Amino acid sequence: MNAPDRFFLPDMQARADLRQLAIHKVGVKDLRYPLALLDAAGTVQNTVARLSMSVGLPPEVKGTHMSRFVEVLEQRRAPLNVNRLLRMFDDMLLRLDAQSGAIELAFPYFISKAAPVSGVESLLDYDVRMIVEKRQGQAVELTLEVVAPVTSLCPCSKEISEYGAHNQRSHITISVRLRSGMTPEELVRLAEEEASCEVFGLLKRPDEKWVTERAYDNPKFVEDLVRDIALRLMNEPRIANWTVKSENFESIHNHSAYAEISGENAGSEVA
């Protein structure tokens, strides 16, 4: 063995594959990684994301280079926003010589909220997902999803009771495929505005009185929640298609009430 041969390591993944079967997605899944985000105010928020990154593999190629997915992450240390995520996605396709692929990030996202009467501020956490995907021969698609906790108060309970009404915490999930940029804050605010009442991380007694009465004055079934939010989403030109779901964790039953609506908005796609 001559000197150069001692340092040669064969690349098994780059060899030809004779089975001639393309793979639609191959990559890394459930990778936990620290992430810096630029929020709507332009400030940096640090969180920890779970990522899945994949590319399409041509039928003649044996395997993809798994280490390159992590290399793409390591090269993107600047705080992430939608535009930088799209650039990272382009880098991934280029680095792995792929024509299709996907990046999915799921992370807790914190929004500072002021209590309605006392004004005391606290952070509330929301689950957020961002998905960038490109199928063979198609344009890049960007999906944003938020899960917002809210309060819902039962209209039937209020109507039939001499006093009081049962209410519960609900999780509203809004998933939208975007034509142009929207922030998690915008979707969260939309959900909270259509609920019986929003929830807060910290409340004083005057605030508790306010949210109790606000919910009582604004009763909504689970069906009302998804319909009212759907009407808002239908009129948003930045959205191509959408799904809204609500799960009400019932306070008088040991099961949840659930509703879901999906739709598409007319308009031109934006690559």
List the beta bridge partners of residue 16. 61
| Percent residues over pLDDT 70 in the chain | 95
Q: How far apart (Å, rounded) are the C-alpha atoms in residues 210 and 151?
A: 13
3-state helix, strand, coil in the chain (%, to 5): 25, 40, 35
Q: Is 4 helix (H, G, I), strand (E, B) or coil?
A: helix
pLDDT recorded at residue 271: 43
User: Using 50, 70 and 90 to split pLDDT, how confident is the model at 136?
Assistant: confident
Q: What is the mean pLDDT of the chain?
A: 92
pLDDT in tens, 80-106: 888 889 999 999 999 999 999 999 999
**17 pLDDT higher than 90:** no
Ramachandran angles phi, psi of 60, nearest 5°: -85, -5
Distance CA 84, CA 229 (A): 29
DSSP-based three-state secondary structure for 13: helix
What mean pLDDT is predicted for residues 228-244? 97
- 206-231: per-residue pLDDT in tens? 999 999 999 999 999 999 999 999 99
- Which domains can be identified in the chain, with CATH numbers? 23-264 (3.10.270.10)
User: Would you say 244 and 233 are in contact if contact means Cβ atoms under 8 Å apart?
Assistant: yes
Calculate helix-pair angle for 82-95, 67-74, nearest 10 degrees: 140
How crowded is residue 117: how many other Cβ atoms within 10 Å of its Cβ?
A: 15
- 98 vs 40: which has the higher pLDDT: 98
Any idea what DSSP says for residue 25? E
pLDDT at 268: 58
Please give the C-alpha separations between residue 211 and each of 69, 114, 118, 208, in angstroms, as whole numbers: 46, 13, 12, 5
pLDDT reading at 63 higher than 90: no
* Euclidean distance between CA atoms 210 and 189, whole angstroms: 18
Mean pLDDT of 190-215: 97
